[in-house]
Amino acid sequence: MRYLDEYRDPVLARRLIAEIRAAATRPWSIMEVCGGQTHTIVRQGIDELIPVRMVHGPGCPVCVTPLATIDRALAIAARPEVIFTSFGDMLRVPGSGSDLLSAKARGADVRVVYSPLDAVRLAGTHPDRQVVFFAVGFETTAPANAMAVLRAAEERLANFSVLVSHVLVPPAMAAIMESASVDAFLAAGHVCAVMGWTEYEPLAVRYRVPIVVTGFEPLDLLEGILMAVRQLEEERFGVENQYARAVRRTGNTFAQDAIRRVFRVSDQTWRGIGEIPASGLVLAPEFAAFDAAERFTVGGLSADEHPGCIAGEILRGTLTPLDCASYGTLCTPRRPLGAPMVSAEGTCAAYHNAGRTRQETS
């Protein structure tokens, strides 16, 4: 497939692996920020072929959506007047005791949409119902969610609202640098396609850490790792862009304008991690009428993680799925205890889909 096979060339991959092996004089720790990158690294066995320790970061926005927010979504979806809409990856993420797919089976009107604008159209065609869209994601999905709110405002749809759980990558990286031993980062290419990489430049200087904006195919990742290793070996630190075919330094200014118009930066709780200052988005005051959390008062929410789940440690990169006693037994993609096992970008799902077992570490 054009523009895809070129980035999976085995000859070039072997050459890059050889260059990484030749360049690395010590087992540097490099964290990839995006869950899509994690899946490629694990599926292709990249981490087993290079003398570098790959640390899997909190790169799955589904996984870090707060437990209380999932419980709030379940409570709203259960209301008879509500059509609750979401991308499909949120349906099986467990709350305190259930998930949206189970709520649908119990009779809740939960629908999968492929764009937030689909939810806006539903509100237009169902004026007698309240349509709620579950607005989850990193900066990547924020522009489309902002456009949905702007469209609903333009059409004066009083029956449309969004349950917002947006998280921002740079503050999370800063929090990791404060508490974890990571030598370099592979920044998420899709986030930087929207936001550019100017936000990462102060982090590289402050923490003296290389950051390489990287794509998602095997050659992207191998080249990004090589670029990071070369910086480390040369005692340099800065932001470099491997993903030049999709990312420029200033990002997509039109998308950024939409985000700034609709959202405001706020403190945010990350599931399994805790509160990170200025790491989330909430609706701006002028769009507060579209805030589902304010429109629907739900009380009595519990927020207790399953005691057998170590998702927090996995999301922080301090442990891997193979360190979890529940992995592959009590916790599987069909019956997940935590979000990293069910999400399409979750680290536990990446390991399970690649067939990695705990016996490999014994």
Average pLDDT by stretches of 10, the chain with 362 residues: 78 97 97 94 96 92 89 95 95 88 96 97 98 96 98 98 96 88 95 98 97 97 98 97 97 97 96 89 97 84 74 88 94 88 89 84 40
Q: Where are the alpha helices (DSSP H) in 52-196?
A: 61-64, 67-77, 100-105, 116-125, 142-154, 169-179, 189-195
Rg (CA), the chain: 21
Give pLDDT tens digits for 130-182.
999 999 999 999 999 999 999 999 999 999 999 999 999 999 999 988 877 89
CA-wise closest residue to 135 among 155, 104, 161: 161
The pLDDT value given to residue 1: 47
**Which residues have CB under 8 Å from 70's CB, separation 6+?**
93, 94, 95, 96, 99
Residue type at 154 in one-letter notation:
E
Give pLDDT tens digits for 53-101.
999 988 888 889 988 899 999 999 999 999 999 999 899 888 887 899 9
Q: How far apart are CA 263 and CA 291, in angstroms?
A: 11
The CA-to-CA distance between both ends of the chain, in Å, stands at 40
The pLDDT value given to residue 360: 46
Assigned fold of 1-308: Rossmann fold (3.40.50)
Domain ranges of the chain: 1-308, 311-354
